Amino acid sequence: MVVDLRSDTVTRPSPAMLEAMASAAVGDDVYGDDPTVNELQAHAASMFNKEAGLFCPSGTMTNQIAIKAHTQPGDELICSDSAHIFIYEGGGIAFNSGVQARCLPGDEGGRIKAAQVESAVNPDDIHLPRTTLVCLENTTNKPGGAIYSLQSMQAIFKVAKANGLRCHLDGARLFNAMVASGHTFPSETPSDRSHQPMANGHAGEGSEQGCSYGPPDVGACFDSISICLSKGLGCPIGSLLLGTHDFIARARRIRKAMGGGMRQAGFLAAAGLYALKHNINRLACDHARAKQLGAALASLDRSRFVTKIKPVTTNIVIFELGEDFDGQVMKEALAARGILVSRFGARLMRFVTHLNTDDHQIAYAIQALREVQDDMMSR
């Protein structure tokens, strides 16, 4: 058995998704006449009460397009010091937009607060860069899948508007955040979810983040939103950028310059439409399975072997080994048992649950963890 817990980007399309892709009506999206792409863009935009959307190959591209569309060279944006746009997008803020980042220290979950944003806005002084943009990430990636509360997002948006700033959301795992907040999508029809039994949990279980929120609530807090289809939603490729008609018109020109124009992209857009209609509520299964992994880690030796486990809110589990143990050794020991994981540092490890991990695989991974602990502690 192989259990791939490296990331939720490793998911594969289900037979039903592949069928939707194979039967898609297509055109040339660069000319704007691919009907399935147009339907996907309109559908996603309407979910968030936005005017328009733009289908792109990746979340990195949608984030970088948004930054460029909102700023001018020499500007400054505000983000968390653990933000994906700052750490994992190849220096794209500087490379693509000529903008610098003011990185604020996040809390344990990587979240920043409205008061921090307000204090980081530069005054109107020719010696200082113009602060023009605030970027949030929900859920947070590197800090472990934490979610922003609706109240926190609203407060940051209020500060941004009062200071003439735009707000962009890196919502690569935004649907995970909404499900974890307790929101359900009542119009969703069961499909892939039917072969993914709920694993000791339900949507929103244990959510201490405040009230639940859905797409319209999030849409009201941001000028632009990036959402990924190729993570927990299970698509093979694709992300969407949402905003006003004027913003998306600018974004389309930037996408072209970045080489992101696609032709018969409807085959890929069909996967996105399928995911948005069938694969959102089932994210609660991934969260429940991540909590099972977290509980299993908590049952290991906490004095020496696993010394820290970040709170498990969604589908990401991050933990730290004791100083006597090497993360690479653990990664290789798990791989020898068919368990694939990511290493975030010398002793920092990450597991991510997703559409293609089931209860049996999680049980197998937990048993492997116990075996690896015994082997490593006996050396």
One pLDDT digit (tens) per residue for the chain, 379 residues: 899 999 999 999 999 999 999 999 999 999 999 999 999 999 999 999 999 999 999 999 999 999 999 999 999 999 999 999 999 999 999 999 999 999 999 999 999 999 999 999 999 999 999 999 999 999 999 999 999 999 999 999 999 999 999 999 999 999 999 999 999 997 665 554 434 444 444 444 444 457 999 999 999 999 999 999 999 999 999 999 999 999 999 999 999 999 999 999 999 999 999 999 999 999 999 999 999 999 999 999 999 999 999 999 999 999 999 999 999 999 999 999 999 999 998 999 999 999 999 999 999 999 999 999 999 998 7
Provide the pLDDT for residue 193. 44
Provide the pLDDT for residue 379. 79
Residues 6+ apart with CB under 8 A from 3: 338, 339, 340, 357, 361, 362, 364, 365
What is the C-alpha to C-alpha distance for residues 262 and 31, in angstroms, rounded to an integer? 10
DSSP, collapsed to helix, strand or coil, labels residue 328 as helix
330 CB-contact burial (10 Å; exposed 0-12 / middle 13-18 / buried 19+): buried
Provide the pLDDT for residue 257. 97
- 243-263 residues labelled b (16+ CB within 10 A) or e (exposed): beeebbebbbebbeebebbbe
Provide the pLDDT for residue 202. 43
Provide the pLDDT for residue 378. 87
What is the C-alpha to C-alpha distance for residues 8 and 289, in angstroms, rounded to an integer? 13
Provide the pLDDT for residue 5. 98
